[in-house]
A and B are shown apart, each in its own frame.
Chain A
C-alpha cells in the first residue's frame, strides 16, 4: 500500500518546538518574584517612544479560512483540486517560501526592530523586511515570494502594508490561491511584555469578493533560543490522491463504524495529541487536536481501506479492537512511524 505523506508537514512543523532544548536566561527582562519572566509587564519601548517588537515569538497557527462564498470560482476550483492532491503543492511542502500564507504569520520567529526597518526572521530561514523609513509602497515591484512591505506607527499599533507577491504562494494551508495583485495589511500590537497580536487582512478582488483575514496571537519565548527548521525533503515524490483513496474504499457497515466512535489520546513525537472520532452522515470523521500547532483542531474524513484501516487526508488510522469489535486504541500512521493513542471514552 502506498502511504501518503502529508505527514511530513507535522514533522517539519513540530520538530523545532519538540527539540527546543536550549535553556538560556535572558538578561535584563522583567521577572516576577519567583524569577519567572513577567509576561504581563508593560511592553518595552524604543528610545523614540515606539513600542519595541524585538524578541523571540511563537504562537499557534490560526484557523484561517474564508467563507467559500467569497472565493471566486477559479479559486474554489483550485482549493478542491489541491484538497484532492493532499495539498502536496503547498509551497512549504516543496521547500519553497510560504510568503503571505497565514501559518507563516505565526510559528517561531525573531523580530529585530530598528528605526528604519524591522526584520522578521522565521525558523525556516525565510525572512521579511518591513521598511519603516517613511517610504511608500512600490507601484510596480518585482513579484517575489516574501513581498515588499512598508510600515508606519498609528499610536502604539504598527500598520504594515505589503504588495509585490508572486502568485506561487497560498493564503492558507487549505490551498486558497491569490493573484500578483494581492495586498496584505497587518496591524501589530504588543499588548504587554509577553504578547503580540497580529491582525492580518488579505485584499485581492480578482480572487475574493471581499477582503478576509484572521488574528494571530503570539507569546514571547523568553529564556530560550529559536532553532533552525530547514525543509530538506520536498514533496515532489509524494504519491497518491484522495481520489485514489476513494477508489480503493471498501464498505464498512454502520454498526462496525459505530464501535470506533470515541476519544483517543496519546503522544505524537513529544507532544500530546487527541483524536476525536465521530460518525457523521455514515462516515467517520477524525478531529485532531495536537498541542499548540493548529487552533481548534483539524478535521480529517476517514475513508475505509479495510474493516479497521482508514485513510484520513494523507494520514492513515488503524483501529485496534477487542473481541466484541469495540475499538480500544487508534494508531495514527505518519511518515515518522505509527503513534498509538489509547481510547479515553
Chain B
C-alpha cells in the first residue's frame, strides 16, 4: 500500500522545537526573584519611545476556521483539490517560501528593529523586511513570494500593510488560494516584555467576499537561540490521494470499529501526542492533539484499508488489538517511521 506522506509537514514543523538544545542566558533582561525571565515586565522601548519588537519569538500556528461561504467558487474548488492531493502542493512542502500563509505568522522567528526598517527572520531561512521610513506601498510592485511591506506606528501598535505577492502561496494550510491583488494588514502589539500579538487580515475580493484573518500569539523565547529548519526534501515525489485511499477502502463492520474508539497517547519524535479516536456517522475520526505547535486540534477521517489499518489524510493508523479485537495501541505511521501510542481509555 502506498502511504502518503503529509507527515513530512509534521517532521519539518516540529524538529527545530524538539532539537532546541541551546541554553544561553540572555544578559540584561528583566528577571523575577528566582532568576527566570520576567515575561510580564513592561515592553522595552527604542530611544525614540516606540515599542521595540526586537527579540526571539515562537508561538503555536493559528489554524483559522474555513468559511466556505466566504470563498469564491474557484477558491472552493482549489481547496477541495488540495485536500484530495494531501496538500502536497503546499509551498512549504515544496521547499518554497510560505509567503503570507497564516502558519508563517507564528513559529520560530527573530525580529530586528531599527528606525528605518524591521527584519523578520524565520527559522526556515526566509525573511521579510518592513520599511518604516515613511514610504508608501508601491502601486505596481514586482510579484514576489514574501511581498512588499510598509509599516507605521498607530500609538503603540505597529500597523503593517503589504502587497506585491505572487499567487503561488496559500493563505492557510488547507489550501486557501489568493490572487496577486492580495492585501495583508497586520497589527503588531508587544503587550508586555514576553508577549507579542499579531492580528492578520487578508483582503482579496476576487478570492473572498469579505476580508478574514487570524491572530497569532507569540511568546518571547528567552535564554535560548533559534535553530535553522531548512526544507531539504520537496513533496514532488509524494504519491497517492484521498480518492486513491477511498478507492482501495474496504468495509469494516461497525462492531469492529467500535472496539477502536478511545484515547491514545505517546511520543512522536520527542513531542507528546494524543490521538482521540471517535465514531461519527459510521466512520472513525482521529482527532490529533499535537503538543504546542498547532493552536487547536486537527481532525483526520480514517478510511479503512484493512480490518486494522486506516488511512488518515496521508498518515497511516494501525490498531493493535488483543484476542477479543479490542485495541490496546495505535501505530501512527509517518515517513519518519511508526510511532506507537498506547490506549489510555
The answer for the CA separation of A146 and B127 in the assembled complex, in Å, is 14
- Check if A125 is an interface residue, CB within 8 A of chain B: yes
Question: When chains A and B are docked, how far (Å) is the Cα of A329 from the Cα of B242?
Answer: 56
Counting from the closest, the 6 A-B pairs by CB-CB distance are: A144-B228, A228-B144, A127-B127, A125-B126, A119-B119, A126-B125
Bound Cα distance from A54 to B135, whole angstroms: 18
Report the Cα distance A253→B88, complex, angstroms. 54
Q: A125-B146, A133-B27, A144-B227 are known contacts. Are A230 and B97 too (CB-CB below 8 A)?
A: yes
- Check A77 for interface membership: any CB of B closer than 8 A: no
Interface 0/1 of B13-28, CB less than 8 Å to A:
0000001011010010
The answer to whether the Cβ of B145 comes within 8 Å of any Cβ in the partner chain is yes
Instruction: Give which listed residue, A117, A145, A230, A234, contacts B234 with CB less than 8 A.
Output: A234
Q: Is the CB of A54 within 8 A of B114?
A: yes
Cβ–Cβ contact A110 & B129, under 8 A: yes
- List B95-123 residues whose CB lies under 8 Å from chain A: 95-97, 110, 112-114, 116-117, 119, 121
- Assembly CA distance A107 to B138 (angstroms): 24
Question: Does A121 have its Cβ within 8 Å of any Cβ on chain B?
Answer: yes
Query: Does the CB pair B230–A119 fall under 8 Å?
Result: no
**Residues of A100-159 contacting chain B, CB below 8 A:** 110, 112-114, 116-117, 119, 121, 125-127, 129, 133, 135, 138, 142, 144-146
Complex contacts, B234 vs chain A, CB 8 Å = 234
Q: Is there a chain B Cβ closer than 8 Å to A1's Cβ?
A: no
- Tell me whether A121 and B119 are in contact (CB under 8 A): yes
Determine if B54 is an interface residue (Cβ-Cβ < 8 Å): yes
> What range describes how many residues of B lie at the interface?
35 or more
**C-alpha gap A24/B340 in the complex (Å):** 57
A87, B24: Cα distance in complex, Å: 39
| Contact indicator A95/B95 (Cβ below 8 Å) | yes
| Residues of B in contact with A (beta carbons under 8 Å apart) | 19, 21-22, 24, 27, 47, 54, 95-97, 110, 112-114, 116-117, 119, 121, 125-127, 129, 133-135, 138, 142, 144-146, 227-228, 230, 232, 234
Most central of A19, A113, A232 by chain B CB within 10 Å:
A232
Residue in A closest to B118 when the chains form the complex, CB atoms: A112
Contact residues of A between 14 and 47, Cβ < 8 Å to B: 19, 21-22, 24, 27, 47
Contact, CB under 8 Å: A129 / B142: no
Chain A nearest CB from B151 CB (Å) reads 14
Known: A112-B112, A112-B117, A117-B112. A228 touches B228 (CB 8 A): no
Instruction: Say how far A273's CB is from chain B's closest CB, in angstroms.
Output: 24
Q: Which residues of A contact B121 (CB under 8 A)?
A: 119, 127, 129
CB distance from A96 to the nearest CB of B (A): 7
Q: Can you list 14 pairs linking A and B with CB atoms under 8 Å apart?
A: A54-B116, A96-B230, A119-B119, A125-B125, A125-B127, A127-B119, A127-B125, A127-B127, A142-B19, A142-B21, A144-B227, A145-B125, A146-B125, A227-B144
A97 adjacent to chain B (CB < 8 Å):
yes
Q: Which of A21, A97, A117, A142 contacts B125 (CB 8 A)?
A: A97
B112 touches A119 (CB 8 A): yes
For B228, the closest partner residue in chain A by CB is: A144
**A54 / chain B contacts, CB cutoff of 8 Å:** 114, 116
In contact, A114 and B54 (Cβ under 8 angstroms): yes
Interface of chain A, helix or strand or loop or mixed?
A: loop
The B interface, classified by DSSP as helix, strand, loop or mixed, is: loop
Cβ < 8 Å to B, chain A residues 218-241: 227-228, 230, 232, 234
CB pair A228–B230 under 8 Å, yes or no, is no
Contact residues of A between 185 and 201, Cβ < 8 Å to B: none
Min C-beta distance of B174 to chain A, whole Å: 23
* Contact present for B142 and A21 (CB under 8 Å): yes
Is there contact, CB below 8 Å, between B96 and A232? yes
Q: Are B144 and A142 interface neighbours, CB within 8 A?
A: no
* Chain B neighbourhood of A232, CB < 8 A: 96
Residues from chain A with a CB closer than 8 A to the CB of B133 are 27
Q: Which residues of B contact A138 (CB under 8 A)?
A: 22
Tell which of B110, B114, B135, B228 has the most Cβ of chain A within 10 Å: B228
Complex CA distance for A133 and B127, rounded to whole angstroms = 22
Chain B: minimal CB distance from A51 (Å): 15
Shortest beta-carbon distance from B27 to chain A in Å: 7
Question: Given known contacts A125-B145, A126-B125, A133-B27, what 4 new A-B pairs fall within 8 Å (CB)?
Answer: A47-B47, A116-B54, A121-B119, A230-B96
A125 in contact with B95 (CB, 8 Å): no
What's the Cα separation between A259 and B27 when bound, in Å? Answer: 71
CB-CB nearest in chain B for A228 = B144
Q: Which residue of chain A lies nearest to B125 when distances are taken between CB atoms in the complex?
A: A126
Residue among A119, A146, A232 with most chain B CB within 10 A = A119
Chain A residues, Cβ within 8 Å of B19: 142
Contact B110 A129 (CB under 8 A): yes
Partner pick for B112 among A97, A114, A227, A234, CB 8 A cutoff? A114
Residue of B nearest to A232 (CB): B96
Most-contacted residue by chain B among A27, A127, A133 (CB, 10 A) = A127
Chain B residue, CB-CB nearest to A122: B127
Complex Cα distance, B110 from A135, in Å, reads 17
Q: Which residues of A contact B95 (CB under 8 A)?
A: 95
Contact between chains at A230 and B228 (CB < 8 Å): no
Distance to closest chain A CB from B56 (angstroms): 10
Does B142 contact A19, Cβ atoms closer than 8 Å?
yes
